[in-house]
Amino acid sequence: MKCKFLSVPVLVVLLFIGFLYYTTVFILIEEWLGLNTSPGLLNAIIFSGFAVASIACYVLAIFKDPGHVPATYEPDIEDSTTPIQEIKRKGGDLRYCQKCSRYKPPRAHHCRVCRRCVLRMDHHCVWINNCVGHANYKVFFVFVMYAVMACIHSLVILVCNAVHDFHKDREENGGSFRTSYIICGTILVPLSLALSILLGWHVYLISHNKTTIEYHEGVRAMWLAQKVGNIYQHPYDLGVYENLVSVLGPNIFSWVCPTSHHIGSGLRFRTSYDSNSSQAQS
């Protein structure tokens, strides 16, 4: 099996993580508070916790299979427990992948990079050299969350250190540290902004129980529905809390952990039609 770490984007991410960790702990915290003091040690421990959690989730996101379509899968159009079957836009036939030579379950899509159909595919991410799909979506989300926390923590320490150094002129070793400030800030500011936007985007997607692909498909479906006077509703939107539970898990304390025991097979998902049918029966 080809090692997934042997890609330029993954090596760049690991290089950035290593550089930011060394700069934050052994230069910024050491210069500002000192690692031999209680505040300095506490900040170093907290930042190290964010860094370790980020690296652990990053590695999991790289190596965890996003979910593939079983060779034996066939849609059952007569199954009364499946309220909807996704069909092709043109022709109205059941979705079938010509490249994989098998039917596609709901929310599955073919990835041209991975050369296979991925369950509940969100997107292919070059930064993890893997698809983000059903089985590793939560791991990817938690990784981004911890990465944002680590970047913001590092950025706060950088700003406090720069202010402290400005008021306390140390010319004997100020040059080398100021160079580190500039390099670290040049990386941290755009990285923190980009990751924060990415985190906000996926919080929005999770709260609406959508994938990135489904969002773009929904924009088109909404436009087509409005043209004929209809209202488009995303079929997998169960309400904000239920949407969060379906992706992050039923236990709120596990939302920050890269666990995914609750996700099911990925071949069928609850829809708003399930809720409507159960309410009608009751």
Which residues are marked as active site? 125
What CA–CA distance (Å, rounded) separates 133 from 185? 33
**Residue 216 burial (CB count, 10 A):** 11
Two structure tokens written together for 219: 């924009």
Q: Return the amino acid letter for 213.
A: I
User: Cβ distance 150 to 135 under 8 Å?
Assistant: no
What separation in angstroms does the CA of 105 have from each of 10, 70, 135, 138, 279? 30, 10, 15, 20, 26
Classified as helix, coil or strand, 218 is helix
Nearest Cα residue to 147 out of 103, 202, 71 = 202
DSSP state of 105: P
Report helix, strand or coil for 46: helix
Q: How far is CA 186 from the centre of its chain?
A: 24
Place of tokens 């909807």: 84
Provide the CA 104 distance to its chain's centre, in angstroms: 23
Which sign does the torsion angle of CA 45, 47, 52, 57 carry? Answer: positive
Q: How far apart are the C-alpha atoms of 57 and 237, rounded to whole Å?
A: 27
First-to-last CA distance in the chain?
A: 52
Question: Cβ(208)–Cβ(237) under 8 Å?
Answer: yes
